[in-house]
Structure 1
Amino acid sequence: MSTEQAELRARLEARRGGVHGPFQVLLRSPELGGRLEELSTSCMRDSALPPRLRELTLLTVARRFDAQHSWLAHVGRGEAAGLDPAALARLARGEEPGFRGPDERILHRFVEQLLADHFVDDDTYAAALAEFGERTLIDLVIVTGGFASLALVLNTFQVDLPPTAAPPFPDVTGFRRTPRDNAPAAS
């Protein structure tokens, strides 16, 4: 382990109680990995989003990217922050979650559009701006990108679930999505 890796490991252990999930991989690229860890920490601690909506953002990203490890690490936190467990179960199954709060519905729609289309339609943008304000909306986009980066690290480097954990997504087996009945045929 290089000096930089040892320093990052020490920081991860101090901040996070160990080197878990995507941070196992980030340790192998200590300069950029350390910066992504700092962004992740800032997203969780410094964002204008309240904890409930931060967790909803993370869980929406985790489901969109099939990042089962992230989902399992945060679903309990989301519930503890006030997210409806039944809505989260629907989200995990790939169904319309039917979140209770208007802020949750707006946020989920915004993040889904951002990740699926790479743009947000005018109505969704206007609703999100009215609900959250400009600073929070900017933070939401940054948080979404940070969480997406971590999801990509988890999946690319196949960071496995804890040995006793059941996979949370019925359409994902290991690191492969199972075909859906309505999925377009591969060409």
Structure 2
Amino acid sequence: MPRIPYPSPENLSPVVRERLAGNPPNVTRMLVGASEPVYLGFGALAQGLMKGSPLDPKLRELAILRVGYISNCKYELFQHEPFGRFVGLTDDQLAAIKAGDAASPSLDEQQSAVLRFVDDIVLNVRPGDETLAGVRAFLSDSDVIDLIMVTGNYMTVCRFLETTGIEVDEDAIDWNAYTAAK
């Protein structure tokens, strides 16, 4: 049972209520409790990061999963471990991400740099100059900014999930359907 109750659909605007059609995941059921501008704005940011950013999906999922592991956020990991596999991360890479093992032979140099960068952002807020330079050696400045936004967004998501006590869904999101939808 969540620590904050899921909002009642009859208390929501028609625009927001429409988003609840079709049995959405529990995170969506709770997010609709935010004010409408916050809910819609957050959704636009999340969609931009997941579907609009040119950042390599493997690197995006590496960042999301690392934030989830550091945050010990079961819901986030339940949803994104399958998506990490969907975009091509291997079990060995997932184990390295979980352990924070940037030296793992399962990670290439770019993935190792991203893992160090995400750890530095989450644990220190301001990454060190060397860590930032390490990731900039592989990514455009635009991709670095997207990576920062993904990391920060999922720090927010994990804190939202853990604070509200959202229950893990029975099934993970159908990532094939999600990626096919506009």
TM-score for the superposition, normalised by structure 2 = 0.78
- Distance, in Å, in 1 between the alignment partners of 2:49 and 2:12 is 26
Q: 1:33 aligns with which of 12, 18, 39?
A: 39
Name structure 1 gaps, 5 residues minimum.
166-187
Q: 1:21 aligns with which of 23, 26, 48?
A: 26
Offset at residue 161 of structure 1 (A) = 1.9
Offset at residue 11 of structure 1 (A) = 3.2
- Distance, in Å, in 2 between the alignment partners of 1:9 and 1:34 is 12
**Retained in 2: the 8 A contact 1:23–1:37?**
no
Specify whether residues 124 and 86 from structure 1 end up closer, same or farther in structure 2 by C-alpha distance, changes over 3 A only. Answer: same
Partner of 2:53: 47
Q: 2:163 aligns with which of 135, 156, 160?
A: 156
**Retained in 2: the 8 A contact 1:26–1:34?**
no
Partner of 2:153: 146
Q: Please give the root-mean-square deviation of Cα atoms over the aligned residues, in Å.
A: 2.2
**Retained in 2: the 8 A contact 1:52–1:81?**
yes
Offset at residue 23 of structure 1 (A) = 1.6
Partner of 1:71: 77
Offset at residue 19 of structure 1 (A) = 2.4
Offset at residue 111 of structure 1 (A) = 0.6
Q: Tell me which amino acid in the other structure corresponds to 2:34.
A: S
Offset at residue 35 of structure 1 (A) = 1.6
Specify whether residues 95 and 49 from structure 1 end up closer, same or farther in structure 2 by C-alpha distance, changes over 3 A only. Answer: closer
SS of corresponding position for 1:61: helix
Offset at residue 12 of structure 1 (A) = 5.5
TM-score for the superposition, normalised by structure 1 = 0.76
SS of corresponding position for 1:159: coil
Higher mean C-alpha deviation, range 126-135 or range 27-36: 27-36
**Retained in 1: the 8 A contact 2:66–2:100?**
no
Q: 1:11 aligns with which of 15, 19, 35?
A: 19
Misfit runs of 4+, over 4 Å: none
Q: Tell me which amino acid in the other structure corresponds to 2:129.
A: D
**Equivalent residues, number:** 160
**Retained in 1: the 8 A contact 2:68–2:74?**
yes
**Retained in 2: the 8 A contact 1:110–1:124?**
yes
Offset at residue 163 of structure 1 (A) = 5.2
Offset at residue 134 of structure 1 (A) = 0.5
Name structure 2 gaps, 5 residues minimum.
1-9, 173-182
SS of corresponding position for 2:33: coil
- Distance, in Å, in 1 between the alignment partners of 2:159 and 2:134 is 29
| Larger RCO (alpha carbons 8 Å, 6+ apart) | 2
Q: Deviations along 1:26-59, whole A, 9 cap, x unmatched?
A: 1111421222122111110111211111111111
